[in-house]
Amino acid sequence: MSTILHITPHLGGGVGRVLRNFLTYSRDHSADTHRLACLDYANAPSQAWAAAAGIDLSDNLAWRLPALLEMVAAADLAVVNWWNHPLLFDLLVRHPLPPARVLLWSHVSGHTPPQNFSRALLDYPDLFVVATPYSFEAPAIRRLPRKKREAKVRLVFSCAGIDHVAQASPRPHAGFRIGYIGTVDYAKMHRDFLQMSAAARIPGVRFVVCGGPSEEAIRREALAAGIAEKFYFLGQVDDVAQVLADLDVFGYPLAPGHYGTGEQVLIEALAVGVPPVVLDNGPEGHVVADGVTGLVVQNSREYTVALERLFREPAWRLRLSENARRHARQRFTIAQTAQAWQALFQEALELPKSPRAWPQKNGGATAAEVFVAALGEEAKEFARSLDQDQLKRALAADRRIARKPGLFRSATRGSVFHYQSFFPDDPYLNLWAGLMLLADGDPVKARERCAAAQSLLPPWRLSQYLRKLGIPAGDTRPRESAAPCRASA
């Protein structure tokens, strides 16, 4: 019997469901003891589940690191559930672990900064476990020498199982309904979601949109575009099976370069028999079999056409539905996830315990340097901005940082804003956030961030930004940020 410690930034949502179902199955089918360690919060459902299941669960450990390090030392194996989260990288980069056997399970695909793999991250664990075959194509993994890749990288598909939706199936209803369930935010969903959906020429169609956090903003966008009558925004829903049972099609167009992996909600749609239409971004094609269980299309125009075709051809839609249900029951079971992990546990237990420390050239790292370490080879502009000995090059890097696209401008998802929320005293995190806000035309918030940076950096470093924002230059000098603050995950 082995003791296995599962470390995660927080517990709730999609990854939380995967872990809860996996650990419940493992409790009943193996002699191992599993413990859960959350750096931030475990939500109320997770705490209630742990109490009922007899699983030891500790949270808020980022502020109780000695207790966490004791857990790591006592465990036979430590599984790090990874995505780019400030508290997780703060642990990896700034706090060496005692001797341990470490497996890392990535819950993002690793392609797109700031949710990208790096060589240092791949080197950190004994085994690096990806959650989708698409991750094998991530640049950092492709650059690994073949022998090292074969020795280090493994696959366990991210799946919470289908037991919770297995009894549901499409039921009769009025009209034609196309559903989207998941992250309702353009950090994940396609920026043209409203337009490519509303363009479908389907009489009386209704698009049912479930999830958050930006549903109100997108609802207002639909209203301004004059298409609000086609969309029902339901916010977060507890019973996914009931929503899916009332759908004809699952319309799930995600943003190119999104960070997802197994896309649990796609698996759930297949299990209920709701044929999905997805874009060919990478992960989706490893869940949906094009023309067999759903449709994988190349662009927004093809997406709209696919919705129309599924409406016009109900017999074909029914065949896809039946194939989807059968395929999901064969491939996406929690037993398969647990059995794959059991094999990896046995492999890792043959290895000796060894200490873990992130490679650092100059000792301790500031919070901004932790952010740079998290990006690895994708951190060039941010690393140059930190170099006060090369001011001209640093200012040129600042201009590129201000225009960083996509996830870099998210409030969370491993962005500058995410790190700054946990480390509000770091001068460079404040500076970079201010530059992005200024570029976005938000001088009020940009002034706040640059003023915070001003008290920690020499005036010459950001004088031109202060002038733009009407902030008088001061004469204080920098200081390092310390421990993380509590912030929204």
Same domain as 448, residue 377? yes
What is the share, in percent, of the chain residues with pLDDT greater than 70? 97
Which pLDDT tens digit goes with each residue over 56-72? 999 999 999 999 999 99
How much is the pLDDT for 475?
41
222-230: average pLDDT: 96
Q: Pairing state of beta strands 111-112 and 115-116?
A: antiparallel
- In the DSSP assignment, the letter for residue 273 is T
Peptide bond preceding 213: is omega within 30 degrees of 0, i.e. cis? yes
Whether residue 373 sits in one domain with residue 347: no
Same domain? For 19 and 155 the reply is yes
Q: How confident is the model at residue 44 (pLDDT cuts 50, 70, 90)?
A: very high
Per-residue model confidence (pLDDT) at position 481:
53
Q: What is the arithmetic mean of pLDDT over 376-391?
A: 91
Q: Is residue 351 part of a domain?
A: yes
Confidence (pLDDT) at 479: 43
Give the DSSP H or E segment for 4. Answer: strand 3-8
The pLDDT assigned to 279 comes to 97
For 147, other C-beta atoms within 10 Å of its C-beta total 8
Tell whether the model's pLDDT for residue 103 goes beyond 90. yes
From the centroid of its chain, how far is CA 42?
17
Residue with tokens 């896309």: 263
Residue type, 21: N
pLDDT at 102 over 90: yes
Q: Is 478 within the bounds of a domain? A: no
- Tell me, what's the pLDDT at 13? 79
Residues 412 and 305 in one domain: no
pLDDT digits (tens, 9 = 90+) for 203-214: 999 999 999 999
114 and 10 in a common domain: yes
pLDDT at 476: 37
**The pair of three-digit structure tokens given for residue 398, joined into one six-digit string:** 């600042």
CB 160 within 8 A of CB 136: no
Among 259, 262, 289, 260, which Cα is nearest to 276's? 289
Q: Which two tokens stand for residue 124?
A: 């950190």
CA atoms within 13 A on the CB side of 170: 25
Residue 230: what pLDDT?
96
Q: What is the mean pLDDT of residues 271-282?
A: 95
157/188 same-domain check: no
Q: Does the pLDDT at position 389 exceed 60?
A: yes
Q: Is residue 169 assigned to a domain?
A: no
- Write down which residue in 355, 387, 404 finishes a domain: 355
Residue 287 lies in a domain: yes
For residue 481, being part of any structural domain is answered with: no
pLDDT at residue 464, rounded to an integer: 80
The count of structural domains within the chain is 3
Mean pLDDT over 84-103 rounds to 97
Residues 70 and 197 in one domain: no
Q: How far is CA 437 from CA 72, 160, 185, 393, 411, in A?
A: 40, 38, 19, 21, 12
Give the pLDDT score at 325. 94
Q: What is the mean pLDDT of residues 338-367?
A: 89
Q: 488 exposed, middle or buried (CB, 10 Å; 0-12, 13-18, 19+)? A: exposed
Question: Considering the entire predicted model, what is its pTM?
Answer: 0.91
Q: What is the mean pLDDT of the chain?
A: 92
pLDDT at residue number 137: 95
In sequence order, which ranges of 360-442 are alpha helices (DSSP H)? 367-375, 380-386, 391-402, 416-422, 427-439
Domain residues for the domain of 196 are 176-331
Asked if the bond preceding 352 is cis, omega within 30° of 0, the reply is no
Q: Is the pLDDT of residue 455 over 80?
A: no
Mean pLDDT of 432-459: 89
Query: Same structural domain for residues 135 and 219?
Result: no
CA 403 to chain centre: 22
Instruction: Quote the pLDDT of residue 473.
Output: 60
Residue 480 located in a structural domain: no
Query: Is 28 found in the same domain as 144?
Result: yes
CA distance 10 to 288: 29
487 lies in some domain: no
Long-range Cβ pairs for the range 384-390 (8 Å, 24+): 385/428, 385/431, 385/432, 386/428, 388/458, 388/461
Among 335-344, 369-378, 400-409, 449-458, name the one with the lowest average pLDDT. Answer: 449-458
Is the CA virtual torsion 430, 431, 437, 438 positive or negative? positive
**Is there a contact between 285 and 291 (Cβ–Cβ < 8 Å)?**
no
Same domain for 461 and 317, yes or no, is: no
Give yes or no: residues 205 and 292 share one domain: yes
CATH code of 272's domain: 3.40.50.2000
The verdict on residue 15 lying in a domain is yes
DSSP string over 20-85 = HHHHHHHHHH-S-EEEEEESS-B-HHHHHHHHHHT-EEE--GGG-HHHHHHHHHH-SEEEEEES--
Q: What is the mean pLDDT of residues 388-409?
A: 90
Statement to judge: residues 348 and 327 lie in one domain: no
pLDDT in tens, 154-188: 999 888 888 888 888 888 889 999 999 999 999 89
| β-pair partners for 56 | 35
Query: Alpha-carbon distance 369 to 364, whole Å?
Result: 9
What pLDDT is stored for residue 40 in this prediction? 97
Q: Percentage of the chain surpassing pLDDT 90? A: 77
- Taking CA atoms, 391 is separated from 164, 388, 402, 467, in Å, by 57, 6, 16, 17
